[in-house]
A and B are shown apart, each in its own frame.
Chain A
């Protein structure tokens, strides 16, 4: 009955709602009119009718959306009868248009694609409600005034535009994964929505390898989510995490996506990041991780996506292959580069390498620097613990 209704809705939640509604109808009418000859068929028909009505209402709403977003020229745009997935995709591309500021793209996607309320979005990004409301209004105004079209971009523009959308989804997940400050490390709402969006994009753009890469990356993060903190909410580093708590099913799904994406051609940055994350997730223990392979992947990542953050992560892999002294030289080069000044993982990584080299006083100094730069309670606690092991607190 649910499956028959899903065929109409193609959406499990909507189908479930319709089925429940059918039972409510049955409870209301059967006692009055008697139980029908074929109760199962009666329920299925009722559920499918309810689902169809709900969809018609939603289609009307979707059809009105372009009007809300700005007058639609309608040139060369035929509305296909089966427009539901297409409509969601159009909406994603409108909200994630590169002509909008990244923070506006993120906010719009949460509001219009995910349906989150403005106060919740404001709370998630630590800004006041009026600030977030103003940001959304400005973005909608630009969509209307500049006529950002409500459509899926043509094939030639698609890779760049998909990239802009993936950046938004990744940022959403990252924002939920490590809350910048405050007590709760994981904001499930944001991570769940980001994962939903990644799955939806995968469904709608099955040929895009970077979409597969991003979904795989998020799946690995999600698989390890429960083990990121201990019972007291303290942040655990990957070597301290309980690997038996990792979700093997999600990791296997991620691995299939990564393998498929890597086979199809030169990888993009999300695919390489996912490959690194999957290698970590599949290793029996931290020391037994395939570090040489991870370092090679970081070399590739640095080539296609040169960023000092990637260089810093690569330095950690170098420390596992060539030892902490070689890695320290790389970290010092990143420090001289200067772009990561103020980023607490830089002194935290330096501190860890110094600790492993037995240079405790210098390590303590670096831990103190990292501590002063972090504004996440769980991370602060972790750094304080490490500092206690290496030297005086003050």
Chain B
């Protein structure tokens, strides 16, 4: 099945992960099962630290903060398998969101490199 990245954008709060309401945390934990129920699969998940912890490199210049400043910062990424875009969108809609949204992008490739 084709793979899609589900990019989660959330408004950041001072407490970071600690501010996530318990029901949202629970929904995150249940997400793989719910996606499986709909015939999809989560291949990988990445949870990012606050964007204030980011360091950007542009040419030789190091700057504090994320590469692109946005009101809602990239908070995490799922990689899912879905039949087609409609299916991927239906699965992405299950992502628990506090104040923001998700972007769905088809993947060209996804690789985990084993230590050689």
Contact code string B71-85 (vs A, CB < 8 Å = 1, else 0) = 000000000000111
Which residues of A are in contact with B by a Cβ distance under 8 Å? 73, 75, 97, 99, 145-149, 153, 157
Q: Interface majority SS on B: helix, strand, loop or mixed?
A: mixed
| B94 CB → nearest A CB, Å | 15
Q: In the complex where A145-B106, A146-B106 touch, is A153 in contact with B83 (Cβ < 8 A)?
A: no
Q: Which of B2, B84, B86 sits near A157, CB closer than 8 Å?
A: B86
Q: Are A146 and B86 in contact (CB under 8 A)?
A: no
Inter-subunit contact A73/B84 (CB<8 Å): yes
- Please give, as numbers and ranges, the residues of chain A lying within 8 Å of B1 by CB-CB distance: 73
Q: How far is the CB of B114 from chain A (nearest CB, A)?
A: 28
Binding site secondary structure of chain A: loop
Contact in complex: B86, A149 (CB < 8 Å): yes
A residues in contact with B83, CB < 8 Å: 73, 75, 147, 149
Report B-chain residues with C-beta under 8 Å of the C-beta of A149: 83-86
Give the Cβ gap from A43 to chain B, nearest Cβ, in Å: 46
Excluding A147-B84, A148-B85, 20 further A-B contacts by CB distance (< 8 Å) are A73-B83, A73-B84, A75-B83, A97-B85, A99-B89, A145-B106, A146-B85, A146-B104, A146-B105, A146-B106, A147-B2, A147-B83, A147-B85, A147-B88, A148-B84, A148-B86, A149-B83, A149-B84, A149-B86, A153-B86
Nearest CB in chain A to that of B39: its residue: A75
CA distance A146 to B105 in the complex (A): 7
Q: Which residues of B contact A153 (CB under 8 A)?
A: 86
In chain B, residues 19-78, which have Cβ atoms closer than 8 Å to a Cβ of chain A? none
Contacts of A99 in B (CB 8 A): 85, 89
- With a cutoff of 8 Å between Cβ atoms, the chain B residues found around residue A148 in the complex are 84-86
A153 to B89, CA, bound (A): 13
Cβ-closest chain B residue relative to A98:
B89
Q: Which residues of B contact A73 (CB under 8 A)?
A: 1, 83-84
CB nearest to A76 among chain B residues: B83
User: In the bound complex, how far is the Cα of B105 from the Cα of A73, in angstroms?
Assistant: 18
**Cα of A149 to Cα of B86 in the assembled complex, Å:** 7
A94 to B85: give the CA distance in the assembly, Å.
11
Give B95-109 as 1s and 0s: 1 = Cβ < 8 Å from A's Cβ atoms.
Answer: 000000000111000
Nearest neighbor of B105 in chain A, beta-carbon distance: A146
**Residues in A neighbouring B84, C-beta threshold 8 A:** 73, 147-149
Per the bound structure, the CA–CA distance linking A39 and B104 in Å amounts to 62
Minimum CB–CB distance for A157 against chain B, Å: 7
Q: Which residues does chain A contribute within 8 Å of B89, judged by CB atoms? A: 99
State the CA gap A99–B88 with chains docked (Å): 12
Q: How far is the CA of A157 from the CA of B105 in the complex (A)?
A: 20
Within the assembled complex, what's the spacing in Å between the Cα atoms of A8 and B106? Answer: 42
Q: Within the assembled complex, what's the spacing in Å between the Cα atoms of A273 and B95?
A: 37
- Bound form: Cα–Cα A135–B104 in Å: 21
Closest chain B CB from A69 CB (angstroms): 11
Q: How far is the CB of A153 from chain B (nearest CB, A)?
A: 7
In the complex, the chain B residue whose C-beta lies closest to that of A72 is B84
A157 CA to B86 CA in the complex, in Å?
10
Neighbouring A residues of B88 by C-beta, 8 Å: 147
CB-nearest residue of chain B to A71: B2
10 examples of A-B residue contacts, CB within 8 angstroms:
A73-B84, A75-B83, A99-B85, A99-B89, A145-B106, A146-B85, A147-B2, A147-B84, A147-B106, A153-B86
- For residue B105, which residues in chain A have a CB less than 8 angstroms away from its CB? 146
Instruction: Give A75's nearest chain B residue, CB to CB.
Output: B83
The distance in angstroms between the C-alpha atoms of A19 and B38, with both chains bound, is 50
- Chain A's nearest CB lies how many Å from the CB of B38? 12
Q: Which chain A positions have C-beta within 8 A of B2?
A: 147
Most A-side CB within 10 Å, residue of B84, B88, B89, B105? B84
Query: Which residue of chain B has its CB nearest to the CB of A93?
Result: B86
Q: Complex: how many Å from CA A29 to CA B109? A: 61
B93 to chain A, nearest CB (A): 11
**A147 shortest CB reach to chain B, Å:** 4
